[in-house]
Amino acid sequence: MVKNLFRFSVLVVIFSLAACNLNKTATPTAAPTLPPADPPTPPPITHTVIPIQLPEERTNNAGDHDSSKSKDNEEAPGGDRFTFAQYERPFNANTMDVYFPYLDIQDTQTFEDDLWVYATIQLKDRAGDGTLAGRYAMEIDNDLDGRGDWLILADHPTSTDWTTEGVQVWMDSNEDVGGTSVISADEGEAPNDGFDAKVFDGGSGNDPDAAWVRVPADIPNMVEIAVKRSLVLDGSRYMIGMWAGSESLNPALFDFNDHMTHEQAGAAMRGFEIYYPIKALSELDASCRVAVGFQPNGSEPGLCKTYIPGAPGEPPPPGGCPPNPNCFYGMNPDCSCIPPPPPG
């Protein structure tokens, strides 16, 4: 009797334990957390066509105003006419008490060969830290209508060897640079989007060798830019102008005088009392455009002031530059002669 009772007790315990196990729900095991996969490494950019030396003969040249001579007076007395897209503003906004020598263009030159169009931009000096701490660009007008077609922009160049780093090429895909009235300021803000298509960026694009920049080792305050003719030119005739700026040199804001009013932009000359000093548009300098591949007649929009000889005995142009049938003067304040480009 006792043995049977013991067996019955054991069976009760066994069945109870089995029932408890049947009622338990298995706890799922969490999947291990894997570290995020590294993004694929883009293949390195391989360059096959690199500029070498600039040609010996330049195709054109234009001097520019030296604002260092008037910096103590906190103005740029020459070269700044916002209404006509002429900018001489290598100063800070509102007070004009900080002068940026690395944004003050002194001289520009153009060169070309069968493969490249070259531009040189000589600045007054480097920044206090010894760098060219700005953006530098050449603007190409292919059809001579005053509307820029291409902008080749180099950001903070440092290398003394040719490099694509920091170089961008922009185009105006819808031909609205310049707004309604080319060169001259439009009334109100323009609806255009400036240079709107970036076709090259630091070697990325259809052609990794399309555009380059360097700072020549023997001229540390100069920027040299090269761009392939096959990318930017439609023919052998074009106009080209140079730019220096900070973040103000924004491709989307061309032309600048169509995107803001004179009151907003200000003026660099104390004589323009209503607008002085510079305000929204500061830290910017631009050279006038020069002709390449053709003899200009002087009416091309944005062209440097050009002396075209007339009848014998014609008086010199304003400024006292003597007539010379073999050259024109551009914006050179010292009347230095610029030989005309070869006929094209």
Distance, in Å, from the CA atom of 167 to the CA atom of 23, rounded to the nearest integer, reads 71
Which has the minimum average pLDDT: 44-53, 110-119, 122-131? 44-53
Coil, helix or strand at residue 314: coil
Distance, in Å, from the CA atom of 122 to the CA atom of 156, rounded to the nearest integer, reads 14
Q: What are phi and psi of 35, to 5 degrees?
A: -65, 150
Q: 115: which 2 tokens?
A: 């493969």
Coil, helix or strand at residue 101: helix
Q: Residue 307: exposed, middle, or buried by beta-carbon count in 10 A (0-12, 13-18, 19+)?
A: buried
The answer to whether 339 and 109 are in contact (CB under 8 A) is no
What does the pLDDT read at residue 111?
97
What does the pLDDT read at residue 182?
87
Give the torsion sign (CA, 90, 91, 97, 102): negative
Strand partners, 63: 107
What is the reported pTM?
0.79
| Domain map (residue ranges) of the chain | 60-292
Determine which helix (DSSP H) or strand (DSSP E) holds 86, and give its type and residue range.
none
Q: Convert the pLDDT of each residue in 22-72 to its tens digit.
A: 444 455 556 666 677 777 777 788 899 999 999 999 999 999 999 999 999
% of the chain exceeding 70 in pLDDT: 77
